[in-house]
Amino acid sequence: MFTNRYIFLYSSAMVIVVAAILSSAAQFLKPFQERNVRTEKIMEILKSVKVEVEKSEAEKTYDQFITAEYTINREGDVVSLYKNGNFEKGDIRAFDIDLKTEQKKLADLKAGKSDVEPVFPMFECVKDDQHYYIIPLLGKGLWGPVWGNMALKDDFRTVYGVTFGHKGETPGLGAEIAYAPFQQQFIDKTIFDKDYNFTSIEVVKGGVSALPENKQIHGVDAISGGTITSNGVSEMLHDCLINYVPFMKSKVEESGSPEPEV
């Protein structure tokens, strides 16, 4: 017969051994997990500019197509620029920015809880001699976070491609944001009107045809039965894209681009 003291000591020892094994395993696996997260992030950035790539080629392909990483403040100034593996300005890589952290800084700043200014990441892609600008997105769906990337043409107005993902939206409903039929609606839609007033893109319940004809270029059809997720995507687009408006308008003014027709 084992005494209660023996059982207690044995159980305690096993708990300590198991905890040590799990801790060691977590530490061992952490670099692999971080590498997988990094690779998935790269693949999603590239997918927004219609570059599909295998995991094994992700890093190499990123370096081939992404020519610059911009870190931008609310005034539209570039506070850090990373090109060709080196910093040309500042010391913040856009790729390393945690968008959730920056959104929290912005919320605290607006609420008067902090005076720390947020910064926002943007990626420049060159493909087939055309320049595209990729903006990361983060928002809230029905059951958890939703996220994505939007690639704009060099007019900083017209959508070239998007990706969306989610943590736990309902299969067949809100989860449809992660699939091509929903995402392809955004191609060639615009986030500014002809006078470069910011409009964002609205995910419209009942369909974009319900909008006035001159507004349809700024809208896409919502997901049937996925109203809350659709609204979450609309809010995410507006709340993320608006942070880049001063930067984009300054680039348009620099280029002297003519105002496109709607």
pLDDT exceeds cutoff 70 at 230: yes
Q: Which long-range contacts (CB under 8 A, 24 or more apart) does 218-224 make?
A: 218/189, 218/190, 218/191, 218/193, 219/189, 220/182, 220/185, 220/186, 220/189, 221/185, 223/173, 223/174, 223/176, 223/177, 223/182, 224/173
Token output for 189: 């839609």
Q: What is the pTM of this model?
A: 0.85
State CA 177 to chain mean position distance: 14
Q: Helices 58-65 & 4-48, crossing angle to 10 degrees?
A: 40
First to last CA, the chain: 86
Token output for 162: 């998007």
Alpha carbon distance 256, 252 (integer Å): 6
**Hey, where are the domains in the chain?**
43-255
Alpha carbon distance 205, 226 (integer Å): 9
Instruction: Note the pLDDT tens digit of each residue in 17-60.
Output: 766 676 666 565 556 567 778 999 999 999 999 999 999 999 99
- Over residues 215-229, the mean pLDDT reads 93
Do 53 and 46 contact (CB within 8 A), yes or no? yes
Instruction: Note the pLDDT tens digit of each residue in 147-198.
Output: 999 999 999 999 999 999 998 878 888 889 999 999 999 999 999 998 999 9
Do 44 and 134 contact (CB within 8 A), yes or no? no
The single-letter code of the amino acid at 239 is D
Instruction: Note the pLDDT tens digit of each residue in 72-123.
Output: 999 999 999 999 889 999 999 999 999 999 999 999 999 999 999 999 999 9
Longest dimension (CA), the chain: 90
Nearest to 162 by CA among 126, 188, 197, 193: 188
State CA 214 to chain mean position distance: 28
Alpha carbon distance 28, 26 (integer Å): 5
pLDDT exceeds cutoff 80 at 210: yes
Alpha carbon distance 196, 144 (integer Å): 33
Please give the residue that has the higher pLDDT: either 225 or 203: 203
